Structure 1
């Protein structure tokens, strides 16, 4: 019984250590990439370039603005070679595809910086997508919390909107 006990203990310790290491790594290097943030003059309408720098899809769960649910929120997907992200107040049908945040999935290799780099270098596949998180409130947007899952692991990212 002594030998079996130590083998089981060693395996369990290795699993706990591996799981903890992965979680800490994802906290230090989150797969959710946030690049530029654009806002209206009074910051009540904001759009952020977001994407996935990881090796697996990201599932968005919830978004909070200043500690509460946003009054209006959507995920915008555009072709970065032809379109630009639009603020909610000025968005039209020509400004790309608008997706619901409920159950939204960010595909792999959609980090805003890497997508823009490929488009600028001419190495784009033509099927590039750039995502924008559009938010609107009656008050100035100061802090945005994005909760998402990556490999089934719940993660959270906080973004401060600059004045």
Structure 2
């Protein structure tokens, strides 16, 4: 009886480690758009979730893990797209649904490749991380959580 319990426990542990490893080596974030202002002090990184559960953005930093002056998530629709702005409060920018990072979760199946497969609905929501900084931005770091596991995506901005 003890041997069966031990084997069952071992199988559960192996399955849990396998699941964790699969998720860790196949992160769900997809970067599909990249835009920047001429000064490179404002960037937008379009993101999607290829996974089967929601994804939570935890933090955004730039360059050498510096805190940006401001960072927000754009929630827009496919036909309107994303905007590059240096002022989140401008009249033009308000139409693009800028939201605090902590207030947005990225639903499953919101990746660019999923959208291409099901291109019937042009009003699907699209998501972008927008960051403003007082110096040119060369790198954006996006920390996020998926199924309780933390990840960090490094996005290089070509100058």
- TM-score for the superposition, normalised by structure 2: 0.84
Deviation at 1:93, TM superposition (A): 4.2
Shift of 1:116: 5.0
**Deviation per residue, 1:86-108 (Å, 9 max, x gap):** 12316524542111101420012
Q: Which residue of 2 aligns with 1:114?
A: 114
Alpha-carbon contact 1:49-1:112 (below 8 Å) kept:
no
> What secondary structure, in the 3-state scheme, does the structure 1 residue paired with 2:154 have?
strand
Query: Compared with structure 1, are the counterparts of its residues 154 and 49 closer, same or farther at alpha carbon in structure 2 (3 Å cutoff)?
Result: same
Which residue number in structure 1 is paired with residue 37 of structure 2?
40
Determine which of 146, 149, 155 is the counterpart of 1:150: 146
Q: Partners of 2:27 and 2:125 in 1: how far apart?
A: 20
Q: Aligned equivalents of 1:105 and 1:7: distance in 2?
A: 42
Q: Does 1:24 align with 2:38?
A: no
Does the CA contact (< 8 Å) of 1:40 and 1:46 recur in 2? yes
Unaligned 5+ runs, structure 2: none
Q: For structure 1, which segment, 150-159 or 85-94, has the greater mean C-alpha deviation from structure 2 after superposition?
A: 85-94
Superposition pairs for residues 13-162 of structure 1, below 5 Å? 13-66=10-63, 67-81=65-79, 83-89=80-86, 92-93=92-93, 95-115=95-115, 118-119=118-119, 123-124=120-121, 126-162=122-158
In the alignment, structure 1 segments of 5+ residues that lack a partner are none
Question: Across the two proteins, how many residue pairs are aligned to each other?
Answer: 155
- Give the corresponding residue for 1:11: 8
CA RMSD after TM alignment: 2.1
For 2:10 and 2:32, how far apart are their aligned partners in 1? 38
Instruction: Provide the C-alpha distance between the structure 2 equivalents of 1:138 and 1:94, rounded to a whole number of angstroms.
Output: 22
- Distance in structure 2 (CA, Å) of the matches to 1:42 and 1:113: 30
